[in-house]
């Protein structure tokens, strides 16, 4: 018998631990984004830098929260499968938490805030726009498929995209550390931070195209019914 703890508003039963972890991640990410927004609107806000690599304190805190939230993403999925506690509520909340975490920080990193240490802590806007559009398209496709009781499984490029984002975002937040020690002489558009973001963008687009091509029948069926 699977262990259950907590209360589910949807099912009138106990909310399981994996779902609690997901809800905690959403709250953690929300607090992070609110905190970053508050810092950005304070006039002349200055965040101290740490060490010779000029790691910004606010960005360091954001990086730590990002890593912790990413680990809870792995943990809740692992526990849900191990304890056989995969629920509709958990499947609904998990991607919301992921999009809040990744896309929220990517959008924040587009802007040259007055407390940002330098250009290494910026993400190209076109990369973020492409990744967000890709997520909207794939999520829309999954929504249409779900209404037909079909499941669109993640492909290898989608998983690789997630890994690339999980690596790129902390490196950007840490001002290129630890790669900043040997890429200082490179052009700004070829530093490790930028390269990692470009790789994540490429994998994001590639996986999105594959999702659409492999599941275009879902869209065709919807179009035929509309006609």
Q: What is the pTM of this model?
A: 0.79
Instruction: Give pLDDT, residue 55.
Output: 77
d(CA 218, CA 223): 9
Q: Which of 45, 60, 64, 41 is nearest to 115 (CA)?
A: 45
Residues β-bridged to residue 50: 55
Q: What is the pLDDT of residue 12?
A: 41
C-alpha separations of 169 from 15, 175, 211 in Å: 31, 10, 24
Contact 16, 80 (CB under 8 A): yes
Per-residue pLDDT of the chain (227 residues; tens, 9 = 90+): 343 444 444 444 557 888 899 999 999 999 999 988 888 887 766 666 665 567 788 888 999 999 999 998 888 888 888 888 887 777 778 888 888 899 999 999 898 877 676 666 788 999 999 999 999 998 888 888 777 777 676 778 888 998 899 999 999 888 877 666 665 566 655 678 888 999 999 999 999 999 888 887 776 655 555 55
């Amino acid at each position: 018998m699977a262990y259950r703890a907590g209360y589910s508003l949807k099912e009138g039963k106990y909310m399981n631990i994996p779902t609690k972890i997901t809800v905690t991640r959403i709250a953690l990410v929300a607090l992070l984004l609110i905190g970053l927004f508050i810092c950005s609107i304070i006039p002349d806000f200055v965040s101290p830098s740490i060490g010779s690599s000029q790691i910004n304190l606010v960005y360091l805190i954001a990086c730590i929260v990002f890593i912790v939230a990413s680990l809870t993403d792995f943990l809740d999925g692992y526990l849900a499968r191990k304890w056989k506690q995969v629920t509709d509520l958990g499947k609904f909340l998990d991607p919301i938490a992921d999009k809040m975490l990744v896309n929220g920080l990517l959008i924040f990193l587009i802007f040259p805030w007055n407390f940002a240490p330098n250009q290494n802590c910026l993400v190209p806007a076109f990369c973020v726009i492409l990744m967000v559009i890709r997520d909207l398209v794939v999520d829309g496709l999954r929504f249409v498929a779900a209404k037909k009781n079909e499941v669109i499984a993640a492909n290898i490029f989608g998983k690789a995209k997630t890994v690339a984002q999980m690596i790129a975002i902390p490196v950007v937040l840490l001002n290129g550390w630890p790669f900043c020690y040997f890429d200082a002489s490179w052009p700004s558009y070829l530093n490790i931070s930028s390269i990692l973001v470009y790789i994540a963008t490429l994998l994001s687009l590639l996986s999105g195209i594959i999702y659409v091509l492999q599941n275009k029948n879902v869209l065709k069926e919807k179009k035929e019914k509309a006609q």
